[in-house]
Amino acid sequence: MAELPPLTTAIIGTGGIGSAIARRLASGGQSLRLSSADTESARTLAAEIGPAAVAAAGNRDALHGAGAVVLALRFTVLKGVIDEIADMLTDRLVVVPSNPFGIDAQGNLSRLLPEGQSSGKVVAGWLPAGARLAMAFGTMSAALFESAGNRSPEPAVLFYATDDDRAGEEVERLIRTAGFAPVRAGGMEQSGRLEVGGDLHDLVVGPAEARSLTGGA
Ligand SMILES: NC(=O)c1ccc[n+]([C@@H]2O[C@H](COP(=O)([O-])OP(=O)(O)OC[C@H]3O[C@@H](n4cnc5c(N)ncnc54)[C@H](OP(=O)(O)O)[C@@H]3O)[C@@H](O)[C@H]2O)c1
């Protein structure tokens, strides 16, 4: 049986979605190590969350003692940060909420990958051997994600995609900690369904409906 990850998670990127993920994980009892580009936003967020969160000295420092890392970064900076921390990712869960979209000066979104190309497969190709990738936590806008957590009586589902069973077990635990029910959409070839524009994006449903949408993947 796979070992459960430790109760400390690193979150690199503390903007719109990184801060929402941090708040939800901290409210579920997870200890966090946070980093951001200039460390100021990580420090501000750690102060807001309280003792459960620590602002790290940088991206590599964030990983010390953390069994999992969430890369809450825009797609355009993701590869650079992965390269910076690559040697520390072996045998860790790597969670990526990034959508492969850019935004122009007028606020228009455009997909940065060719139509049909899976962002999950692209990110998997950037990781070192031994890193366990799950595409997760980027399937809802930050405001919806924060408001849908700990829903009752039935929890809302957070979909994820992975090719790795152990990553699946580990990310499911994080998803539950954040106050959601995990449902696997499938392997990395399904990651497009989770993205902006995908049929599972911004969907707030319970587990039974989620399983009917994914065919029980
Ligand atoms: N916002 C949402 O509602 C939402 C929802 C789902 C998915 N997503 C996806 O999540 C990704 C992030 O979106 P976002 O809205 O959170 O972006 P954002 O608000 O711009 O935040 C990006 C974060 O990345 C940090 N960062 C940039 N370069 C870095 C580096 N080299 N090292 C460490 N940290 C670095 C920034 O640091 P500073 O704070 O110091 O600038 C900032 O905290 C995107 O791909 C987006 O599509 C967003």
- How confident is the prediction along the chain (217 residues), in pLDDT tens digits per residue? 444 445 899 999 999 999 999 999 999 999 999 999 999 999 999 999 999 999 999 999 999 999 999 999 999 999 999 999 999 999 999 999 999 999 899 999 899 999 989 999 999 999 999 999 999 999 999 999 999 999 999 999 999 999 999 999 999 999 999 999 999 999 999 999 999 999 999 999 999 999 999 986 5
Q: What is the dihedral of CA 185, 186, 192, 193, to 10 degrees?
A: -30
Q: How far is the CA of 49 from the centre of ligand 1 (A)?
A: 18
Return the sign of the alpha-carbon dihedral for residues 194, 173, 93, 47: positive
pLDDT for res 217? 58
SS3 172: helix
Q: Are 21 and 42 in contact (CB under 8 A)?
A: no
Q: How many CA atoms lie within 13 A of 195 on its CB side?
A: 23
Residue nearest ligand 1's atom 9 by CA: 98
> Which of 32, 36, 96 to mutate to test ligand 1, by most ligand atoms within 8 A of the CB atom?
36
Best mutation site among 17, 63, 123 for ligand 1 pocket (most ligand atoms within 8 Å of CB)? 17
Q: Which residues line ligand 1 (CB under 6 A)?
A: 12-18, 35-38, 41, 59, 72-75, 77, 81, 97-99, 101, 138, 141-142
| Separation CA 57–CA 141 (nearest Å) | 28
From 39, 41, 48, 73, give the residue whose CB has the most ligand 1 atoms within 8 Å, as the site to mutate: 73
- In the prediction, which pLDDT does 7 show? 83
Residue nearest to atom 22 of ligand 1 (CA): 15
Q: Are 104 and 149 in contact (CB under 8 A)?
A: no
Nearest CA to ligand 1 atom 21: 15
CA dihedral 175, 29, 61, 22 (to 10 degrees): 60
Instruction: Report the distance separating Cα 194 and Cα 186, nearest Å.
Output: 10
At 95 the pLDDT is 98
Ligand 1 centre and the CA of 139: distance in Å?
14
Phi-psi region of 25 (alpha: psi -120 to 50; beta: other; left: phi over 0): alpha
